[in-house]
Amino acid sequence: MSEFPEKRTRKNVSLAAVFAVMRADFRETVVQDALQAKAPRNLRDPLNTAIRARVKINGFRDASKAHPTQLLEPVLHEMELANGKLAGAALRVWEHSHAELRDHVTAYLEAAAVAPIGLDFKNGKFKAGWPTGERERHREAVAGQHPDLDQEEVGLMLCLVAGRSPFSQDFSIALNSEVFARFISVLGDLPPTAPDWNEADAFRVAVGELAALKAKDRINDQTRAVERAIEHIRENHKEDVKYLGLEVGFWFNNVKARQDLAPKAMRFLGKLQEELDAYGPIRPQGASLEEEKRRALRRAEHEAAILGIANEWEALAATPPPKPAAEACEESAVHSMDTSPGSPRRRADDGSKLEALKSELSDVKALHKEETDGFRFENNQLSSEISDLKKQLNESRTSESYWRDLYVAEKGRRETEGGEEADAATVKEAVDRAKDVFDAELVVALNSKSNTAKPFEKPQEVLHALHWLATEFRRQRLNPGSSPDFNLAIKEACPGWFYKAHQTQTTKGMFSEWYKTTVNGKTYDLSNHIGKGNSFDPVSTIRIAFAWDEQTEQVVVGFIGPHQRNRQS
């Protein structure tokens, strides 16, 4: 048991505090495990509720239904904002998924006579904290008993089972730095009568000046690192950057004007470098038709990703710089409180005025922090949404040229001086051509209710729509981290067409033969459909119903005709 009294430990800390002391990679692992783990309803429902309350994902009314890869970054962002309720719900699922580790830690704490303190999941808070050094001592002891266990996981489980936050002293700012945390711990143990406290204000000024100097050095280093990264991209991907129309030199201009962007620029440049490294070897045309077919799809994916990174950077660079009003206020107040030996304020007996000024400064800082945190959060959300919309729009606009060029490249039907291939004359001909071109991407297994003999007036558009399914739709489905707007994408690629993903269970139950098809003994639900026209006139209206097979990574087309049957038809 600890020799420190319980009143000295940190209380009412957000459950998200444990994420502040984790390594970045472990933080991601914990959230991924929680989002992907199978858990009973009493644990999964609170997590879904917490996600719905704060997380927004494009394309989902209920964000909890998004794929875990789509939820990872937004949930991690909520941890940075100290969302205790979401953190608590995620940590309960994580704890449940590591039952064996939990049992080891529980047995150890019982033997060490460390009584558990219940966590406040309702408010997302810890009720107490570990005394200084206690969590590390217990973690080393558990490691001694079970050397095969991961030390980060043991440290987290100790907090959850014991019900104690990883922080000790009751200070308002959680410190990730072990150096600073130890230093604060030493200061916390100094008695109030210690003569060191006579120099506290001078010490605060010295630390502030040193921090400002180190911050300037750090930003200069980061700015130079950005310049080196851009120069590396220019040297190694000169032709690729020129081909894509990227002006990475402007990135450095952005950073010189806004040095606060330097750390973020390095992350963006790192992602850009990875994409360009993968894109460079496949940008030239393939040596064979089959090779070009494979390259074209991969080329389209990397080009969309690269342009998306550029769009995200433009949106970030357009955001207003942070306002240092709080820092300026603090600096002004510090200079007004000169306590150096011999100064008038040091000699004057003005303690009461000094305390009042400190209190007023604290109130102003707290109010400003609350307001700026709220504005920053809203601004980040808006910037993220704008970036996502720009990325989706850009991908949709560029995808049309990709899949059209892909069709030509795969069949070797490029235009010549003598003319070009004739349009499909019938819907059946359009279907046959698509089957021929995309035999690996499309499975056409039309059910008994299909009718390709209907006189749809623009059969070439059917061919284009099937190409869209085999290329752009399939590409997006192969990228589980994306949240595409398929209705927008089909409208961009095939003007006048639309996409719908659902049909009511009642309709499908009443007319099941219209909404199912079977391939090799496997039955597919044909709820997804694209089409054109809103009437029942077969000349101007057509529907293509299909399913996505996750295992074979193919689009299964099961119905083509004027309309699938429903309760209104």
Own/partner pairs for 113-122, CB < 8 Å, 24+ apart? 113/1, 114/1, 114/138, 114/162, 116/161, 116/162, 116/163, 117/162, 117/163, 117/164, 118/163, 119/15, 119/88, 119/160, 119/163, 121/15, 121/46, 121/85, 121/88, 121/89, 121/92
Structural domain that includes position 24: 6-189
Q: Is residue 79 part of a domain?
A: yes
Looking at the structure, tell me whether residues 399 and 447 fall in a common domain: no
Looking at the structure, tell me whether residues 328 and 249 fall in a common domain: yes
Are the beta carbons of 534 and 562 closer than 8 angstroms? no
Q: Is residue 206 part of a domain?
A: yes
Q: Which of 171, 189, 207 lies at the terminal end of a domain, its last residue?
A: 189
Q: Which of 129, 158, 189 lies at the terminal end of a domain, its last residue?
A: 189
**129: β partners:** 165
Count the domains in the chain. Answer: 3
Looking at the structure, tell me whether residues 397 and 530 fall in a common domain: no
Looking at the structure, tell me whether residues 407 and 433 fall in a common domain: no
Q: Is residue 418 part of a domain?
A: no
pTM for the structure as a whole? 0.35
Q: Which of 362, 388, 413 lies at the terminal end of a domain, its last residue?
A: 413
Looking at the structure, tell me whether residues 402 and 431 fall in a common domain: no
Looking at the structure, tell me whether residues 20 and 98 fall in a common domain: yes
Q: Is residue 420 part of a domain?
A: no
Looking at the structure, tell me whether residues 37 and 175 fall in a common domain: yes
3-state secondary structure string, 435-485? HHHCCCCEEECCCCCCCCCCCCCCHHHHHHHHHHHHHHHHHHHCCCCCCCC
Looking at the structure, tell me whether residues 199 and 148 fall in a common domain: no
Contacts of 69 (CB under 8 A, 6+ apart): 480, 481
Looking at the structure, tell me whether residues 84 and 153 fall in a common domain: yes
Q: Is residue 240 part of a domain?
A: yes
Looking at the structure, tell me whether residues 185 and 235 fall in a common domain: no
Query: Going residue by residue through the chain (569 aa), what tens digit of pLDDT does each one get?
Result: 333 333 334 456 788 888 877 888 899 999 999 999 888 999 999 999 999 998 988 888 888 999 988 999 999 988 888 888 999 999 999 999 999 999 999 999 999 888 888 888 888 888 888 876 788 889 899 988 888 889 899 999 999 999 888 875 444 345 567 777 677 767 766 777 778 888 888 888 888 888 888 878 887 887 888 888 888 888 888 888 888 888 777 777 777 777 777 778 888 888 888 889 999 898 888 888 888 888 899 889 888 888 888 888 887 777 777 655 444 444 443 443 444 444 444 444 445 555 555 555 555 555 555 445 544 545 555 555 555 555 555 544 444 444 445 544 444 443 333 445 678 889 999 999 999 888 889 999 999 888 888 788 888 999 999 999 998 888 888 876 667 788 888 888 888 899 988 777 777 777 888 889 999 989 999 889 999 887 767 788 899 999 999 888 899 999 998 877 776 55
Looking at the structure, tell me whether residues 301 and 175 fall in a common domain: no
Q: Is residue 215 part of a domain?
A: yes
At residue 490, what are phi and psi to the nearest 5 degrees?
Answer: -70, -35
Of 133, 194, 202, the C-alpha closest to 166 is 133
Q: Is residue 128 part of a domain?
A: yes
Q: How far apart are CA 204 and CA 115, in angstroms?
A: 38
Q: Is residue 498 part of a domain?
A: yes
Looking at the structure, tell me whether residues 389 and 292 fall in a common domain: yes
